[in-house]
Structure 1
Amino acid sequence: MQRIHTMPFGAEVTAEGVRFSLWAPTARDARLVVDGTDHAMELHEGGWFRLTTPMIDAGKRYGYRINGNLVVPDPASRFQPDDVHGLSSVIDPRSFEWSDRSWKGRPWEETILYEVHVGTATPEGTYTGLMKKLDYLRDLGVTAIELMPLAEFPGRRNWGYDGVLPFAPDASYGSPDDLKRLIDHAHSLDLMMFLDVVYNHFGPSGNYLHSYAKSFFTERHPTPWGAGINIDGEGSRIVRDFFIHNALYWLEEYHFDGLRFDAVHAIVDDSKPHFLEELPTRIRESIPDRQVHLVLENEANQARWLERKDGGRPRLHTAQWADDVHNSWHSLLTGENEGYYEDYADRPLERLGRALAEGFAYQGDPSAHKPGIIRGEPSAHLPPTAFVSFLQNHDQVGNRAFGERLSHLITSDRLALARAIFLLSPQIPMLFMGEEWSASSPFQFFVDFETEPDLAKAVREGRRSEFKHFKAFADADMAQRIPDPTERSTFERSKIDWAEKERSPHQGVLSETRRLLKLRRDEILPLLSREYQGSHYAASQEGILEVIWSFFEENLRLVANVGNQSASIDLSNKSRVIWTNASLPSERDHFSLEPWEGLILKEASA
């Protein structure tokens, strides 16, 4: 079976030959360049340059000469064998034979995500290397792999958020067919595949759109990375379609099961419908016969994008990363109160309770970290599955100065309690690669600007400057200890050591994670298909947290003691403990929890 997403951009193999299409509204002239020879392209209305020729085959390298001078890659290139500044390669998607014809995906409530950076997840750092780990992940209990961004980025190592050619899976990880083989094999193992995509900015090197499509950007909506993407001004229809087609391309041509949209709070749209409404609407209209899951990262906590239809199905987006859950946990577990943890350190247990029960801790509340900013919208009406919960991810680990994992920062008993609550709560859980065995390797920030020394210097100095307002790095000598993101050794330190999962203490953590994921499948998953009826929470000054999620005919109840004294907990006759790290009670209606002990139980609803 072959798959192709047809789009107005890029190079497409047709019966008449290869059709090349470039939107260059601010260029005087554009010519196709193949084998050093220029080929005239016809200018069409709206700034489109097009040419169809039977003289070029799949695999050929090509570029576009702009205004008789600069040669640029195709902005919709399907593959960049020679990095972001090199020529593009003509790809015929029909040359790959898929074997997953019957694959329709899996229901969202079954999702257990595993976030992966392809370059550091295996010794090979490739799609093929990751494919060898899929059987292990399936047996662990994972049901979905989420790949950090793959769009072609400068150099050989990068987190992926510096991508500049969003249709080209980065060549440092392998070929397009290698990526398709990974996805095809995942589906054969009943694993979903998700991709993180970035529609809020382009990276600092290799973005040539300014030279021929200035209207792709706007100064009206500046971002932390420069001029904003023009999705609501003159010429924005083409820009919007560029990203909508990109989403459909990954879902159709590569058969991904879901997308995670990076930092959508940085996508400013004053038009109607808002881009965050049009995007999922177009996707769901185009792919009506598959389970497709769309996940947001949205610091603004806008519940409007997560609303449900009758029957609980998402109207637009499926879920949002629950940063409030993570940030509350982190502040509670570590006591850290700098940076964005300032918003959680004042009442971490209360904020955790609200986030676990209602999704957002900030629902129209003022931010201490950003004075004058009101964050969030009411979210208590949304089901827990509208939120992806995590204790760690690439951001929360990698954006630390030294990339420490949570297991490097807190005691094992605290982490064990948090792990159990995280995996057995009704939100959709996400593990960060290696978290399941408390991997010893850090995950540090790394880039490769070896051929651009000025940019490398700016990134190096900028990274150290980021932390100067933290007490630990106020001293210049301390700041110099922060790993250099441009050094290859920083990347190598971030690679996972798979052998350690067979050794103590990692082996014990892995065994417990596996047990908890089985418990989730057996005890939590059946609840998630029932009608959700609401929740409530309570956090006491003594450090007792209680959360109750109500489903049709049954409640899920969490009680945890994070205080300094033992606590007595009353149980009803209708309750059944499904997990605890405390001693079993001698009396059925009485339970004593020592500090950092908890229990999760099911109770028949009244």
Structure 2
Amino acid sequence: MSSRTPDTWTHGAVMLDAEHTRFALWAPDAFFVSVELDTGDSIPLLPQADGWFVIQTRCPAGTRYRYNIDGEVEVPDPASRAQAGDIDRQSVVVDPHAYPWRHTRWSGRPWYEAVIYELHVGTLGGFEGVEQQLARLAGLGVTAIELMPLAQFPGDRNWGYDGVLPYAPQASYGTPEQLKHLIDSAHGHGLSVILDVVYNHFGPDGNYLHRYAKGFFREDKHTPWGAAIDFRRREVRDFFIDNALMWLLEYRFDGLRLDAVHAIEDPDFLQELAARIREQVDPTRHVWLTVENEHNQASLLEHGYDAQWNDDGHNALHVLLTGETDAYYADYAEQPTEQLARCLSQGFVFQGHINRHGQPRGEPSGHLPPSAFVLFLQNHDQIGNRALGERLHQLAPTQALQAATVLLLLSPMIPLLFMGDEFSARQPFLFFTSHHGELAERVREGRRNEFKAFRAFADPEKRRAIPDPNAASTFEASRPSLQVQQPEQLDTEALYRHLLKIRREDIVPRLPGAHALGAEVLGHGAVSARWQLGDGSVLRIDLNLSDQTVEHTSAEDARILFEHPEQVTGLLQKGILTPYSVLVSLTQATILPNIIGERP
């Protein structure tokens, strides 16, 4: 697919100077388009080649407007930079240069320094509420915050994956200037900021593209959300690529996480997106590109993309910690320890291996560095896609979860936390929306039917107890209390702080050039994994997530970075790894053999 041509229009309302704006709408299925301004003016757009309608007119920042299609329907700008309220309100002309940046010398952080904290802006009180947490997070040892999607969605409560106006920050969270202030302030605290973006579908409510631009979609291919987006079209590609560039260049986000790229039917779009970003972003900036991808395409991580969220690692750990094997955890039910060892030594568990549906999944990934994989114990999906939104500390033995936390924060993979992990938040994180009418009923029933495959909710009566996503109480229940008072919560926060200090001082400086040396299965739930770091030292993590003692061989001349519980070292010297224990050591050593070396 060729890059955009010089005469391709930029989607949306683009300010040309302080008093003039160019409006451009791709509407190949419309006969007539006008822009209706809040001044009362109705200005016809001039038809151009390839389905474009364009006009240049006097119009300052702050002007509210809608497009009128064929004199029949008024719609928001699909590339609206801001909304005057909900999706059914007017779009707003935005001056992209109005915000006075304070930390203009910020150029980001190298990817290997990333310790990511995923959060939901709405539950923390909007952009201003998130800003109040920055100093605390930086002090904890977090180096980046990741915002769940911000694209304007219907109502004021949503996870963000139902967005329909990808260029407009959600109005109920704050203004574009308040979002920029949040990012600017984060940079002042030394924090990078990542944005989760959804380029695989539009939400079900408030999307008018089918009325005047059917070419956005292809009916011959479908995703779980309906007709697939047609990335074969230049106008469609540019709509999303320009959106990514807006977030990175105008808002100065430090990275993007692309949601569910396995649902994007044209993989060369992803390659062009990465190439365009790398071409247009100042090469002195550190800009991170990560993906969520069920297909485990290691090839994507070789060109343009820094890392993938490693669901495989999470799933193996979750089975070992909780014993749950329902639904997609069934793929990890038989050999979770061996799968964890493969994850630690090669990245993906599924590298062409057959899944529970009898289909091969994934590509070989052992050649990739550990930093190509984002590891987590939970995230918005893994908590929120539970029927009752329970967090992991409510499902797993405390000692086992602490040991797994050591692995998360001290392995060479990139760690990701979800808001509240660091103090064992008592509040659930539930699935919430603010739909109305028939759509609300469909979402409510669809949500409950998702859990038919889970034994605990096989009974329809039990499924009716699953919280209604559209109820305001469901959203309110998902707000994490930031008042950390219980002793066990303080202990958890102290553990995170201590481990992140070790990571920052002893591991991060050695990460460039790191590669896995192998992982050995010691027993059920117990592994020993090794990585050679960039300075030649060897990082070793010995982990036992089971309630049984396992035999073990200690590392000679190792410097102990961390042990849990205390005095594990003496027992290891006796060849014993106790239940729910972990030992992290660092030593100069010759390269050890790759123990886990099988291929599908």
TM-score range, shorter chain: over 0.9
Aligned pair 1:278/2:272, yes or no? yes
Q: How far off its partner does 1:345 sit? A: 1.2
Aligned pair 1:130/2:134, yes or no? no
Aligned pair 1:355/2:349, yes or no? no
**Aligned equivalents of 2:572, 2:547: Cα separation in 1:** 24
Q: How far off its partner does 1:551 sit? A: 2.6
**Aligned equivalents of 2:299, 2:405: Cα separation in 1:** 30
Describe the superposition over 1:448-502 as per-residue Cα deviations: whole angstroms up to 9, x where unpaired.
01xx311111111111111122211111210111000010000000001011x13
Q: How far off its partner does 1:7 sit? A: 7.0
Deviation larger for 140-149 or 520-529:
520-529
8 Å contact 2:312–2:350 — kept in the other structure?
yes
1:199-348 alignment, distance < 5 Å: 199-232=199-232, 236-269=233-266, 274-287=268-281, 288-307=283-302, 315-348=303-336
Aligned pair 1:45/2:39, yes or no? no
Q: How far off its partner does 1:84 sit? A: 1.1
Q: How far off its partner does 1:98 sit? A: 0.8
Aligned pair 1:535/2:521, yes or no? no
Task: Kindly tell me the number of residue pairs found equivalent between the two proteins.
Answer: 578
Q: Secondary structure at the match of 2:539?
A: strand
1:276 partner letter: L
Deviation larger for 464-473 or 506-515:
464-473
Unaligned stretches of 5+ in structure 2? Answer: 1-7, 591-600
The one of 71, 86, 90 aligned to 1:68: 71
Describe the superposition over 1:212-246 as per-residue Cα deviations: whole angstroms up to 9, x where unpaired.
100010012200000000012xxx11101111101
**Aligned equivalents of 1:249, 1:159: Cα separation in 2:** 22
Q: How far off its partner does 1:532 sit? A: 2.7
**CA distance 1:564–1:115, shift in 2 (3 Å):** closer
1:268 partner letter: E
Q: How far off its partner does 1:372 sit? A: 2.8
Aligned pair 1:396/2:387, yes or no? no
**Aligned equivalents of 2:147, 2:583: Cα separation in 1:** 33
The one of 502, 518, 531 aligned to 1:549: 531
Q: How far off its partner does 1:546 sit? A: 1.1
Deviation larger for 406-415 or 550-559:
550-559
Describe the superposition over 1:256-275 as per-residue Cα deviations: whole angstroms up to 9, x where unpaired.
000000000000117xxx11
Partner of 2:598: none
8 Å contact 1:7–1:245 — kept in the other structure?
no
**Aligned equivalents of 2:470, 2:555: Cα separation in 1:** 58
Partner of 1:160: 160
**Aligned equivalents of 2:178, 2:485: Cα separation in 1:** 29
**CA distance 1:188–1:360, shift in 2 (3 Å):** same
Q: Secondary structure at the match of 1:281?
A: helix
Partner of 1:604: 588
Q: How far off its partner does 1:569 sit? A: 2.8
Partner of 2:37: 34
Q: Secondary structure at the match of 2:487?
A: coil
8 Å contact 1:389–1:422 — kept in the other structure?
yes
Aligned pair 1:507/2:490, yes or no? yes
1:246 partner letter: N
Aligned pair 1:592/2:576, yes or no? yes
1:574 partner letter: D
Deviation larger for 81-90 or 421-430:
81-90
**Aligned equivalents of 1:533, 1:59: Cα separation in 2:** 52
**Aligned equivalents of 2:569, 2:450: Cα separation in 1:** 50
**CA distance 1:152–1:351, shift in 2 (3 Å):** same
Question: With structure 1 as the length reference, what TM-score do the two structures score?
Answer: 0.93
8 Å contact 1:585–1:591 — kept in the other structure?
no
2:480 partner letter: I
1:238 partner letter: E
1:299 partner letter: E
Q: How far off its partner does 1:543 sit? A: 4.1
**CA distance 1:71–1:468, shift in 2 (3 Å):** same
1:132 partner letter: Q
1:114-193 alignment, distance < 5 Å: 114-121=117-124, 125-193=125-193
Partner of 2:4: none
Describe the superposition over 1:392-417 as per-residue Cα deviations: whole angstroms up to 9, x where unpaired.
10000000000011011112111111
8 Å contact 1:381–1:534 — kept in the other structure?
no
8 Å contact 1:264–1:297 — kept in the other structure?
yes
1:245 partner letter: D
**Aligned equivalents of 1:381, 1:431: Cα separation in 2:** 26
Q: Secondary structure at the match of 2:324?
A: coil
**CA distance 1:94–1:533, shift in 2 (3 Å):** closer
Partner of 1:3: none
Deviation larger for 395-404 or 469-478:
469-478
Partner of 2:593: none
1:26 partner letter: D
Partner of 1:109: 112
Percent identical among aligned pairs is 49
Q: How far off its partner does 1:299 sit? A: 0.5
8 Å contact 1:128–1:178 — kept in the other structure?
yes
Aligned pair 1:364/2:352, yes or no? yes
Q: Secondary structure at the match of 1:403?
A: coil
1:408-423 alignment, distance < 5 Å: 408-423=394-409
**Aligned equivalents of 1:494, 1:477: Cα separation in 2:** 23
**Aligned equivalents of 1:265, 1:572: Cα separation in 2:** 41
8 Å contact 1:548–1:557 — kept in the other structure?
yes
8 Å contact 2:412–2:514 — kept in the other structure?
no
**Aligned equivalents of 2:569, 2:112: Cα separation in 1:** 33
1:477 partner letter: E
8 Å contact 2:313–2:349 — kept in the other structure?
yes
**Aligned equivalents of 1:141, 1:564: Cα separation in 2:** 31
8 Å contact 1:319–1:385 — kept in the other structure?
yes
Unaligned stretches of 5+ in structure 1? Answer: 1-5, 308-314
Deviation larger for 110-119 or 45-54:
45-54
Q: Secondary structure at the match of 1:570?
A: coil
**Aligned equivalents of 2:22, 2:74: Cα separation in 1:** 19
Partner of 1:24: 27
Q: Secondary structure at the match of 2:97?
A: helix
Deviation larger for 110-119 or 502-511:
502-511
**Aligned equivalents of 1:507, 1:437: Cα separation in 2:** 7
8 Å contact 1:437–1:509 — kept in the other structure?
yes
1:363 partner letter: Q
8 Å contact 2:321–2:545 — kept in the other structure?
no
Partner of 1:521: 504
8 Å contact 1:363–1:378 — kept in the other structure?
yes
**Aligned equivalents of 2:66, 2:27: Cα separation in 1:** 13
Q: Secondary structure at the match of 1:102?
A: coil
2:532 partner letter: S
Cα RMSD, aligned residues only: 1.5
8 Å contact 1:585–1:592 — kept in the other structure?
no
1:368-447 alignment, distance < 5 Å: 368=356, 371-447=357-433
2:52 partner letter: W
1:495 partner letter: R
**Aligned equivalents of 2:311, 2:121: Cα separation in 1:** 23
**Aligned equivalents of 2:516, 2:525: Cα separation in 1:** 23
Aligned pair 1:10/2:5, yes or no? no
**Aligned equivalents of 1:586, 1:397: Cα separation in 2:** 37
**Aligned equivalents of 2:509, 2:187: Cα separation in 1:** 23
